[in-house]
Amino acid sequence: MAQHKIDFTKDGGLPVALTTIDNVVNWGRSNSLWALTYGLACCGIEMMASGASRYDFDRFGTIFRASPRQSELMIVAGTLTKKHAEFIKRLYDQMAEPRWVISMGSCANTGGMFNTYATVQGVDRVIPVDLYLPGCAPRPETLQYGVMMLQQRIRKEKANRSLKPKRLM
Amino acid sequence: MQQPNRLRPFFENITFDRDDNELVLNFGPQHPSAHGQLRLMLHLQQEQIVKSHPDIGYLHRGMEKMAENMIYNEFLPTTDRMDYIAASSNNYGFALAVEKLINVEVPRRAKVIRMLLLETNRLMSHLFWLATTALDIGAMTVFLYAFREREYLMDLVEDYCGARLTHSAVRIGGVPLDLPDNFLTDLRKFLDKLPENIKDYEDLLDQNRIWKMRMENVGTISKEMALDWGCSGPMLRASGVNWDIRKEEPYELYDEVDFDVPFSDKGDNYARYKLYMEEMRQSARILYQVIDMYAGTSPELMAHAPKFISPSKIEMMTQNYSLQQHFVLVTQGMRPPVGEVYVPTESPKGELGFYINSQGGPYPYKLKMRAPSFWHTGILTDLLPGHYIPDVVSIIGTTNIVFGEIDR
Ligand code: SF4
């Protein structure tokens, strides 16, 4: 049997690494989750705080973008009202596949404390949600943990998965 | 018939294609510098705005209606979600209005703690304002610096009440907790550093050419205009009206502390920026004085008014009657006398007032909040025409509007 005598890391080694396409693609995808800024209410402030100096979201490769075309993660942070619901659907549709949605805070999860005529009782009635973060408002650590969970999930997925439509609630 | 459970799109009656040269531009509601959910319909003549129409209501959560079905204590956490940058100032405004309605006097230590909370909240709000406005204009460094300082304050408030953003740190009739051990020393440490930090921001911005071009002589509000549109707070003071409710109708301990109210008569964005910086210094000055007041106070935290306010834990655990009273107050709520009050306070953004109409029941018959940002959004109708598109961002930035309290 052939023995591997080449030290790939030294000079003159073969510039080759064995892996699968899935791994490479998912490595790229999970470490550059660009998020669409979707600060709707109070939770949006905590989302900003997690992007700012102390919590520093950039080290996860998560950078906030202002355009749906450049982002693959939508962090819905705040209360969704019926007047706004139309826009969130439109922006979600404008994002390119593959795309993920994190619903941040009780309001986005279930309507939270605002069980009134004006609020949508959970964004999952309008767009499909991948991850729910509890709290009112969730701490920046919660959001970062949520993004890490999402990264783990992405790494397990097939890179060329057929685009099955996600289910609405 | 409209089905209540179906979402219906809300289209305005706007034609975007026109024969003339005018272009209608839709700004928001999901624009990174729209400070939440402001939607502006801008009519443009080339790049100049000729007509602007702010459209609000995208964060309307029905708080005033909710208040009518909640007992007074239950409603207090909802006020956190109005101006969520400085939550305690809303808690305080509401608590003060109810206290006036039921006519109780708050113990002195509670007053001192409230003052500490109010002024730390003002600092937090102004730092946040600086961060976001600088970010909108492109000064990313200032954003990172200002958020760093803000986190220290968040930590302090978290030490006190356990929440970073939505504090609910004030109760009707007092405050729930005494200060934790290191609160005052930590706060003093922070305040000692603050002037240096403010100087850092000013070094970065004051003489910055870009900053000056974006701010100077942009968004000038004249004195008459500010008064006509019902501006208050820094917006009014930057336009040459020296009006601060902390001075005019002092509440809490503001008549005992010594501070200046900065004002300017330039009325442009730059004047407002300088005003916010100066107000931060004044807040620090107030805080120093309030820290010294704390030591000489007796440890009561809640007012004594058995009809309206629950007795202390010790009384509750030792006296049967107090326990019963507490039970009734929690399950049925306090019943303020018939009457109505309006109490204004100076929140970081301006005059925040609560109007309560009580019919003697446990729920308010009507609760109306007078939120400063609402009026500051209205002024955009008159302020924006004549300006260019990039100015819109800096003007919205300096008005310091927060949508939680506009739409409520
Ligand atoms: S969950 Fe709480 S903090 Fe977040 S948007 Fe709703 S009310 Fe605000």
Alpha carbon distance B238, B51 (integer Å):
24
Closest residue of chain B to A121, computed from CA coordinates: B5
Residue B371 counted as domain residue: no
pLDDT value at residue B10: 46
Mutate to test the pocket of ligand 1, among A84, A113, A116, A136 (most ligand atoms within 8 A of CB): A136
Please give the distance of CA B21 from its chain centroid, rounded to a whole number: 40
User: In this structure, what are the phi and psi dihedrals at residue A75, rounded to the nearest 5 degrees?
Assistant: -100, 105
Mutation for testing the B interface, residue in A53, A69, A120 having most B CBs under 10 Å: A53
Q: Give me the domain span that covers residue B156.
A: 63-347
* CB within 8 Å of chain B, chain A residues 133-162: 136-137, 139
pLDDT value at position B9?
45
| Short-list B358, B75, B8, CA closest to A114 | B75
Cα B403 to Cα A47, A87, B35, B44, B368, distances in angstroms: 16, 17, 7, 25, 16
Task: Please list the pLDDT of chain A residue by residue as tens digits (169 residues).
Answer: 556 666 666 666 666 777 888 888 888 888 888 888 888 888 888 888 888 888 888 888 888 888 888 888 888 888 888 888 888 888 888 888 788 899 998 988 888 888 888 888 888 888 888 889 988 889 899 998 999 998 888 888 777 765 566 666 5
> Is residue B310 in some structural domain?
yes
Q: Which residue numbers of B have CB closer than 8 Å to A's CBs?
A: 7-10, 29-32, 36-37, 57-63, 65-66, 77-78, 80-81, 84-85, 128, 131-132, 143-145, 147-148, 150-151, 154, 164-166, 403-404
Cα–Cα distance, B129 to B108 (Å, whole number):
31
Two structure tokens written together for A79 = 């209360």
Q: Is A57 on the interface with B (CB under 8 A)?
A: no
Contacts of A44 in chain B (CB under 8 A): 36
Give the three-state DSSP class for B233.
Answer: coil
**CA angle in degrees (0–180, nearest 5) for B156-B160-B165:** 70
**Mean pLDDT, 10 residues at a time, chain B of 408 residues:** 47 56 78 76 84 85 88 88 88 90 88 90 91 87 89 89 87 86 89 89 87 86 88 87 86 86 86 89 90 85 83 83 86 87 89 89 89 88 86 87 86
Element (H, E) at B366: strand B366-370
Residue B368, beta-bridge partner list: B355
Assessment of whether the complete model's pTM goes beyond 0.90: no
User: What distance in angstroms lies between residue A48's CA and the mean position of ligand 1's atoms?
Assistant: 14
**B358 belongs to a structural domain:** no
Question: Which residues on adjacent β-strands are paired with residue A75?
Answer: A102
Q: Where are the beta strands (DSSP E) in B11-167?
A: 22-27, 39-45, 48-55
Task: Specify the pLDDT at position B7.
Answer: 46
Cis peptide before A98 (omega within 30 of 0): yes
Question: Which atom of ligand 1 has the smallest separation from the CA of A135?
Answer: 1
Amino acid in position A45 = I
The answer to whether the CB atoms of B62 and A41 lie below 8 A apart is no
Contact residues, chain A, for B132 at CB < 8 Å: 48
What strands, in cross-sheet order, belong to the sheet with B366-370?
Answer: B339-347, B350-358, B366-370
Q: Which residues of B touch A125 (CB under 8 A)?
A: 7
Cβ atoms within 10 Å of B230's Cβ, excluding its own: 17
In a domain, B314, yes or no: yes
DSSP state of A36: E
What is the per-residue pLDDT for B355?
Answer: 92
Q: State the Cα–Cα distance between residues B17 and B23, nearest whole angstrom.
A: 8
Residue with tokens 């978290």: B158
What values do phi and psi take at B296, rounded to 5? -85, 15
Cα within 13 Å of Cα(A86), Cβ side: 10
CB–CB of B58 and A83 under 8 A?
yes
- Which stretches of B228-306 are assigned E, i.e. beta strand? none
The 10 Å Cβ neighbour count of residue B55 is 18
Q: How far is CA B165 from the centre of its chain?
A: 13
Residue B54 C-alpha, separation from nearest chain A C-alpha, in angstroms: 15
Q: How many domains does chain B have?
A: 1
In a domain, B2, yes or no: no
Q: Is residue B405 within 8 Å of residue B83, measured between CB atoms? A: yes
Pocket probe for ligand 1: among B166, B403, B407, the residue whose CB has the most ligand atoms within 8 Å is: B166
Tokens standing for residue B39: 């939607």
Tokens of B388: 């260019």
Ligand 1 binding pocket, CB closer than 6 Å: A 41-43, 78-79, 105-107, 112, 136-137; B 81, 166
**How buried is residue B4: exposed, middle or buried, by Cβ count under 10 Å (0-12/13-18/19+)?**
exposed
In a domain, B389, yes or no: no
DSSP β-ladder status, A131-133 and B339-347: unpaired
Cis peptide before B295 (omega within 30 of 0): no
Cβ atoms of B81 and B255 within 8 Å: the answer is no
Residue bearing the CA closest to ligand 1, atom 6: A107
In a domain, B207, yes or no: yes
- Please answer whether residues B100 and B72 qualify as being in contact, where contact means their C-beta atoms are separated by less than 8 angstroms: no
Asked if residue B25 is part of any domain, the answer here is no
State in Å: Cα B344 to ligand 1 middle.
Answer: 25
**How far apart (Å, rounded) are the C-alpha atoms in residues B128 and B396?**
14
Q: How far apart, in whole angstroms, are the C-alpha atoms of residue B335 and residue B322?
A: 17
Which residues of chain A lie closer than 8 angstroms to B30, CB-CB?
Answer: 38, 84, 87-88, 91
- Six token digits for residue A34: 């660009």
ipTM: 0.81
Chain B nearest CA to A146, separation (Å): 19
Nearest CB to B78 within list A46, A113, A117: A113
Residue A82 backbone dihedrals phi, psi, to 5 degrees:
-65, -30
Residue tagged 């080694």 (tokens)? A13
CATH number of the domain bearing residue B146: 1.10.645.10
Q: Which helix (H) or strand (E) holds A76?
A: strand A73-77
